[in-house]
Structure 1
Amino acid sequence: MSFSNDVREEIARSITDRDRQFACLYGILLYSRIFTPQQVVLQSESPVFARLMPVLFRAVFQAELRPDVRTVSRGGDQFMVSYTITDAAQIGRICEVYHIHPEKREIRLSNLVNNSLSAFLAGVFFGCGSVIDPNKEYHLEFNTPSALLCGDLQKVLGSIGVAGRSLMRKNMYVLYLKDSEHIEDTLTCMGAQQCTIELMNIKIRKDMRNKANRVRNCDEANINKVVSAAMRQMQDIQLIIRCGQLEAMSPELQELAELRLENPELSLKELGELLSNPIGRSGVNHRFQKIAAMAEELRKRAANS
């Protein structure tokens, strides 16, 4: 089961009374890809859609409408269910009930009574919407059939605080959401509260994984810095020893140099704690700077000799 189908299952269960059924069917019809005076076609690969459509038609039109129902195999377990109406009188009845003008389809808020906006959005989602599994990415979109309907839907979503962006794709006007919180608000409004909770849980798991990765990467970077610094310090000390200058260093620097050679894996803080007179990290770093300066001077002498 896909996340998108889970959303359809949940919002279908929320379409319970006639007002919500009326608004849901309105959303499906209004945003159908084909709606002309000669033909209305409603299509979906969703089994939820196939179960819901007869219920909605009976609730709103009783026996007045008799769509031609066809199921076409798309390969494997995939099937396309198509509801087609070609009778001019029946199409005229749909237009009369919902005040739809096929040549200029637009949202009529007067069709949405008794707080049925959520059911209307559910219908639009059934008709032209999809949402990607949030484990992969955050993306919800509506493939609307006209610029006017795309703009109307953008305004309706804006009324609930959701900002969508639009683009053209294969002659369809796509309204899409990328912001996870806006997707959550849309799912909740449509009646998919459990799917909203699942999306939020996925976000929490992703955030935890990202934080763990950042900590691990930070730890690795710190380890690499410690190793690189220790290697430079040991090279400096070994150069000083080869040049017979170890005894020329102060007792404090000699002790630190010997500790570093014996403990190449320790941090500056840990080295400082092992000194006969323990000092902090900054004190150890200052002493290594003196050792580095001494080694650099020996290198210059060797280059000039």
Structure 2
Amino acid sequence: MSFSNDVRREICSSVNDKDRRFACLYGMLLFSRTLTDRYICFQSESGTSAELFHSLFGAVFRSEPVMDQHTRKNGTVLYTCEVRDADAEAVFRKYRIAGNTRAIDSEIIATNSLGVFTAGVFLACGSVNDPSKEYHLEFACPEEGLASQLATLLHDIGVTAKTMIRRGQNIVYIKGSESIEDTLTFIGAPHCTLELMNMKIYKDIRNKANRIANCDAANIDKVVKAAMKQIEDIKLIDKVIGLDELSDELREVAQLRLDNIDMSLQEIGETLSEPISRSGVNHRFKKLAKMADELRMGGAEIEK
């Protein structure tokens, strides 16, 4: 089940009184596929949305639209609700739609619930991506004027919405997770908002864990490479002059490194018979490295 369908189900469960039914149906009608004073066609791939349209229309107009469905070649089901003739005329009168021009009536929205109206718009032409993949909510509006009005409406409630044309269709879209959260809450889907917020927290924690793991892996590689170089130097010194010729301090760190390739400098410092700091251990390894370099260059005299 998609996240969009979760939002639709939550919205539908909240449309439970006369004013909310009136406002929600207005959004569904105004943003439906076809809207004329003789024929109205509401289409959706969501059975939940189609059933709500059928129910709301019956409650508001005391008439039932013709509902049908058919399966496409790709296996998806398209649900259709049709309103004709006198019923379509009644819609235009009740919602004060002038001619066949679609426009949001600010007085109707002000009288009723703006959030529920926008919920109806979402049910008619909205969708939202699974937040585990990306943050994207959009409305595929039937006309350019409606897209512009909807974008303005969303801006007025503090939501950052943009418009574009995709394959000849007017799209109002929202990208930011916070704007999507605000929109879902506004249209009556607070539980889905919490789900999105939880997913965002999960993704943030997962990303931080990955960064820490990558950082740890890089640090481990760095420690191992440094240790291998130190062992190489120590073995050269042992072969040429013998570790017994080293001072007690150098011989002890050299032997610890030979026996513990995975030890950090700090761990070596803490393990010494007389513990020293990480920088102190690093200083001793630098002295061993200098000795090894001199031996590679054929140096006869080296500082022990």
* TM-score of the alignment, normalized to the shorter chain, above 0.5: yes
User: Deviations along 1:204-243, whole A, 9 cap, x unmatched?
Assistant: 2222322322222222222111111100111111222233
User: Deviations along 1:147-200, whole A, 9 cap, x unmatched?
Assistant: 221121111111221101222212111112221111111111111111112222
What residue is the counterpart of 2:198 in the other structure? 201
Alpha carbons of 1:198 and 1:298: their partners in 2 closer, same or farther (altered >3 Å)?
Answer: same
Q: 2: distance between equivalents of 1:120 and 1:151?
A: 16
Aligned length: 299
Q: 1: distance between equivalents of 2:73 and 2:232?
A: 67
What residue is the counterpart of 1:97 in the other structure? 94
SS of 2:214's equivalent?
helix
Is 2:206 the partner of 1:226? Answer: no
What residue is the counterpart of 2:24 in the other structure? 24
Q: 1: distance between equivalents of 2:272 and 2:99?
A: 88
What residue is the counterpart of 2:56 in the other structure? 56
Give the Å deviation of 1:18: 1.9
Matches within 5 A, 1:259-298: 259-298=256-295
97, 106, 111: which is aligned to 2:108?
111
**RMSD of aligned C-alpha atoms?**
2.2
What residue is the counterpart of 1:143 in the other structure? 140
Indicate conservation of the 8 Å contact 1:140/1:177, yes or no. Answer: yes
What residue is the counterpart of 1:69 in the other structure? 67
Match of 1:138, as an amino acid?
Y
- TM-score where L is the length of structure 2: 0.89
Is 2:243 the partner of 1:235? Answer: no
What residue is the counterpart of 1:84 in the other structure? 82
Q: 1: distance between equivalents of 2:100 and 2:283?
A: 81
Match of 2:81, as an amino acid?
Y
Give the Å deviation of 1:284: 0.6
What residue is the counterpart of 2:39 in the other structure? 39
Runs of 5+ unmatched residues, structure 2: 300-304
Q: Which piece of structure 1 moves more, 139-148 or 239-248?
A: 239-248
Give the Å deviation of 1:295: 2.0
Aligned identity (percent) is 51
- TM-score where L is the length of structure 1: 0.89
Alpha carbons of 1:102 and 1:133: their partners in 2 closer, same or farther (altered >3 Å)?
Answer: farther
Indicate conservation of the 8 Å contact 2:54/2:81, yes or no. Answer: no
Give the Å deviation of 1:52: 1.0
What residue is the counterpart of 2:5 in the other structure? 5
Match of 2:265, as an amino acid?
L
What residue is the counterpart of 1:15 in the other structure? 15
Q: 2: distance between equivalents of 1:54 and 1:216?
A: 53
SS of 1:276's equivalent?
coil
Is 2:172 the partner of 1:175? Answer: yes
Runs of 5+ unmatched residues, structure 1: none
Q: Which piece of structure 1 moves more, 43-52 or 70-79?
A: 70-79
SS of 1:294's equivalent?
helix
Match of 1:187, as an amino acid?
L
